[in-house]
């Protein structure tokens, strides 16, 4: 069945390419002429393949391919902080204490045989969006699905939500799935702006993880409601990023995160719902992220692991976009477990991530309405304002529940309630200070480069290994440490002094 | 005031407002498959193990404040703490070791979950279950006992000073809302400072 559909679509594809002359002639159903428009920030330039779900970071880590510390971080961590233990299944002492576990384990209802008749898909789309907002979603969009947006490979992905079941039914062919379920409903919940000011801190973790739990619940509710209306839903099959781009949730920024109209990067993309309900898809957004990211680079200069590129876009999997080095980004987590679980620095520094107020709306709307040629000027002005009022790195002190980011984090081996708690690390140096302390500081975080250098020095081939590695990274353009390599002597000096 | 009215009007115009033909279906129609309503599954989520290391509570007042702040942050509109009295208990609600305190949350809603049987109408109940899930498990992770469902939530809510009961047996509070849903009370032995009932 699947092969028949493949052939059909392939012939249709060729027929369409004939007059256009855009196709590359191999008759693949997913040729560039058919690729959807994903906004200005992302351009499909070559052949865009489905991503194999088993090559996603969490899946690699589960197989132990990223080393012992990360493997242990994933499976064996138990934070000392009580709230962290209920916020996310992987960091729970008992998974039953997390909401994600309760949502995942809830019995799934069946599709209502009495399907509701749809005469006006536009009204139905409005209704679904209104229902999503009622359930608690902050941004809602509908994407028209392309086969390349669906995960390939034989496994369903671990999307980081802690969901344990791998979708329903056997894994079908992506072309067939896209034909059968042409729309994806993308939702997102925003993180609390005031709490994520404490990036690299447990406070930021909670803003992240609790909204993630909420999003999973909202998705489950919407899926249940769609089944109740008599249509089918499938989850755990779609890559959230391209679907959200197509759904007009936002644009892809330099930090590898989606940047939205109202909330900047401080949103979650969960696991979009594939459905066969007749809906009207949304169009990609243009809020000037493309122009902003060319100039700004705030996330790249403040990233603790230098995982964000200072350079331009690269072509990866046939898609031209900013690509972060996910491996270095991911690796740091195992070493900072006492202090935080998710970093969020690139989100916090992003000029788009601001409270949803009139002046923010004014800035974004004026940038939207500026002609492309004049946008660099507008961006420079906005970035100047951002640097002036919010500083280059936000270091606001946040006090929430029993947490206080004004307490200087000190690494301790054992004991204490959490990385920043009173019992663990004493009191704040100045009770009235407005400065927060976040671990680790930028200068000390060439951790992986230093580790690599030490390892190569220990092997006695330090003089050879360094240059060859850096030249390789520049050539391939996949590992984006090249920006960091340029300034490495200074940083190395700083880090040595720091130690 | 004018801006607020304008926004409301614009919202009605953009979303279709009451012209949405499916909204009533969403709020009031009983689900064909009861499993499509997640609320019972969340309310009946199993209890986990109590964390073996007890967190010391030096000041019950601060701990009460934390519990209330957390409850409000995860979605409750009002959180109250009451000293548990024997007449608050449901029959068979008390375990061998008695609980000294009860935490109760109220959620403002446009629909009464007892009357509106649709998935939308049940949302207040679900939000209450979510808040309870977080709070109960946070207390258990602090190393103290906590359980849901042993007490009459309305009696506890009145004792915790959230509001008073009207003659239909509904909670009346200072929050302007057509309905206040009171979630099940959490019984606990975490040292807390109980609130004073409203006169």
| Residue, of A415 and B43, whose pLDDT is higher | B43
Alpha helices, H only, A21-113 = 57-62, 68-75, 84-87, 99-105
Is the pLDDT score of A421 beyond 60? no
pLDDT over threshold 80, residue A179: yes
Where in chain B are the domains? 31-188
Report residue A32's pLDDT band, with 50, 70 and 90 as the boundaries.
very low
Mean pLDDT across the stretch A22-28? 38
Q: Report pLDDT for B95.
A: 62
Q: Which of A83, A109, A114 sits opposite B36 (nearest CB)?
A: A109
Please list, in sequence order, all residues whose beta carbon lies within 8 angstroms of the beta carbon of residue B167, skipping any fewer than 6 positions away. Answer: none
For the ranges A167-181, A409-423, B97-111, the maximum mean pLDDT occurs at B97-111
Task: Work out the pLDDT band at A409, boundaries 50, 70, 90.
Answer: confident
The answer to whether A127 contacts B26, with C-beta atoms less than 8 Å apart, is: yes
Taking an 8 Å cut-off on Cβ atoms, the answer to whether B142 and A82 are in contact is yes
Beta strand A183-188 pairing with A258-260: unpaired
Lowest mean pLDDT among A239-248, A295-304, A365-374: A295-304
Taking residues A159-183, what's their average pLDDT?
Answer: 68
Question: Does B96 touch chain A if contact means CB atoms closer than 8 Å?
Answer: no
Q: Do A102 and B25 touch (CB under 8 A)?
A: no
**Residues facing B164 on adjacent strands:** B172
User: Mean pLDDT over all residues of chain A?
Assistant: 79
* A423 pLDDT above the threshold of 80: no
By mean pLDDT, which of A165-169, A193-197, B112-116 is the weakest? A165-169
User: Crossing angle of helices A121-135/B2-15, nearest 10°?
Assistant: 130
CB A153 within 8 A of CB A53: yes
Chain B residues touching A93 at Cβ < 8 A: 48-49, 51, 141
More confident residue, A254 or A490: A254
Q: Give Cα B175 distance to the centre of its chain.
A: 14
Handedness of CA A420, A422, A424, A427 (dihedral sign): positive
Position A38 scores a pLDDT of 94
Q: Return d(Cα A200, Cα A441) in angstroms, integer.
A: 10
Distance from CA of A311 to the nearest CA of B (A): 40
Mutate: best of A94, A140, A168, A400, partner B, most B CBs <10 A: A94
Tell me if the bond preceding A440 is cis, omega within 30° of 0: yes
Choice among A80-89, A133-142, A442-451 with the minimum mean pLDDT:
A442-451
Quote the ipTM score. Answer: 0.90
pLDDT tens digit string along A440-471? 655 545 556 666 777 888 887 544 444 433 33
Q: What is the pLDDT of residue A45?
A: 93
pLDDT category at B183 given cuts 50, 70, 90 is: very high
**Is it true that domain B31-188 has CATH number 3.40.190?**
no
pLDDT at A279: 96
pLDDT of res. A378: 93
pLDDT of residue A306: 85
pLDDT at residue A260 is higher than 80: yes
Contact list, A110 vs chain B (CB under 8 Å): 33, 35-36
Give residue B96's pLDDT: 63
Query: Which of A112, A127, A402 is opposite residue B22, by nearest beta carbon?
Result: A127
Retrieve residue A67's tokens: 């080393």
Look up residue B86 and give its two tokens. 């024997």
CB proximity B179 to A under 8 Å:
no
- A115 contacts chain B (CB < 8 A): no
Assess whether pLDDT exceeds 50 at residue A342. Answer: yes
Q: Are A360 and A351 in contact (CB under 8 A)?
A: no
Residue A16: the pLDDT is: 36
- Taking the C-alpha atoms of residue A319 and residue A36, their distance in angstroms, rounded to an integer, is 12
Q: What percent of chain A has pLDDT over 70?
A: 75
């Amino acid at each position: 069945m699947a092969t028949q559909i493949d052939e059909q679509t392939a012939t249709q594809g060729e027929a369409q390419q004939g007059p256009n002359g855009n196709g590359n002639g191999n008759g693949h159903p997913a040729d560039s002429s058919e690729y959807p428009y994903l906004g200005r920030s992302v351009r499909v330039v070559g052949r865009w393949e489905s991503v194999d779900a088993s090559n996603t970071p969490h899946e690699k880590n589960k197989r132990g391919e990223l080393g012992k510390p990360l493997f242990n971080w994933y499976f064996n961590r138990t934070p000392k902080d009580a709230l962290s233990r209920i916020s996310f299944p992987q960091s729970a002492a008992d998974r039953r204490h997390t909401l994600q576990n309760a949502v995942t384990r809830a019995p799934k209802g069946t599709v209502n045989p009495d399907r509701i008749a749809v005469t006006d898909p536009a009204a139905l789309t409005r209704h679904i969006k209104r229902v999503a907002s009622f359930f608690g979603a902050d941004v809602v969009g509908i994407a028209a699905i392309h086969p390349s947006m669906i995960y390939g490979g034989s496994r369903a992905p671990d999307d980081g939500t802690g969901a344990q079941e791998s979708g329903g039914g056997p894994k079908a062919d992506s072309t067939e799935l896209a034909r059968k379920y042409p729309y994806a409903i993308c939702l997102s919940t925003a993180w609390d702006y005031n709490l994520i000011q404490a990036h690299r801190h447990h406070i930021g973790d909670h803003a992240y993880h609790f909204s993630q739990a909420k999003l999973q619940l909202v998705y489950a509710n919407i899926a249940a409601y769609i089944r109740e209306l008599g249509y089918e839903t499938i989850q755990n099959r779609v890559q959230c990023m391209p679907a959200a781009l197509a759904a007009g949730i936002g644009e892809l920024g330099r930090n590898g995160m989606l940047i939205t109209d109202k909330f900047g990067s401080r949103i979650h993309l969960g696991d979009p719902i594939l459905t066969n309900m007749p809906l009207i898809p949304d169009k990609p957004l243009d809020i000037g992220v493309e122009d902003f990211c060319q100039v700004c680079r705030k996330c790249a200069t403040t990233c603790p692991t230098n995982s964000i590129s200072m350079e331009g876009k690269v072509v990866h999997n046939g898609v031209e976009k900013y690509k972060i080095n996910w491996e270095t980004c991911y690796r740091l987590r195992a070493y900072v477990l006492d202090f935080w679980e998710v970093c969020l620095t690139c989100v916090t520094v992003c000029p788009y991530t601001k409270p949803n107020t009139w002046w923010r709306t004014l800035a974004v709307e004026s940038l939207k309405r500026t002609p492309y040629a004049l946008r660099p000027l507008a961006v420079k002005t906005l970035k100047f304002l951002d640097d002036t009022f919010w500083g280059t790195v936000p270091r606001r002190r946040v006090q929430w529940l029993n947490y206080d980011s004004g307490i200087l984090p000190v690494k301790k081996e054992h004991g204490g309630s959490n990385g920043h708690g009173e019992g663990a690390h004493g009191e704040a140096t100045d009770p009235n200070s407005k400065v927060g302390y976040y671990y680790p500081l930028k200068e000390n975080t060439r951790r992986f480069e230093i580790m690599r250098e030490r390892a190569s020095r220990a092997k006695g081939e330090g003089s050879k290994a360094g240059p060859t590695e850096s030249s390789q990274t520049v050539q391939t353009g996949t590992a984006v440490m090249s920006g960091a390599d340029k300034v490495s002597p200074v940083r190395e000096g700083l880090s040595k002094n720091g130690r | 005031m004018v801006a607020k009215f304008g926004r409301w009007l614009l919202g009605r115009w953009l979303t279709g407002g009451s012209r949405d033909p499916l909204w009533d279906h969403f709020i009031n129609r009983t689900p064909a498959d009861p499993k499509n309503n997640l609320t019972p599954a969340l309310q009946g989520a199993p209890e986990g193990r109590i964390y073996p290391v007890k967190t010391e509570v030096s000041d019950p007042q601060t701990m009460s404040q934390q519990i209330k702040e957390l409850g409000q942050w995860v979605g409750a509109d009002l959180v109250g703490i009451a000293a548990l009295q024997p007449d608050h208990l449901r029959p068979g609600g008390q375990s061998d070791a008695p609980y000294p305190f009860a935490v109760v949350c109220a959620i403002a809603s446009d629909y009464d979950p007892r009357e509106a049987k649709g998935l939308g109408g049940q949302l207040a109940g679900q939000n209450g279950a979510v808040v309870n899930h977080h709070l109960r498990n946070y207390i258990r992770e602090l190393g103290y006992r906590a359980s849901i469902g042993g007490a009459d939530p309305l009696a506890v809510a009145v004792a915790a000073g959230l509001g008073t009961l009207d003659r239909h047996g509904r909670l009346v509070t200072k929050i302007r809302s057509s309905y206040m849903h009171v979630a099940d009370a959490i019984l606990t032995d975490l040292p807390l400072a109980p609130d004073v009932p409203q006169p």
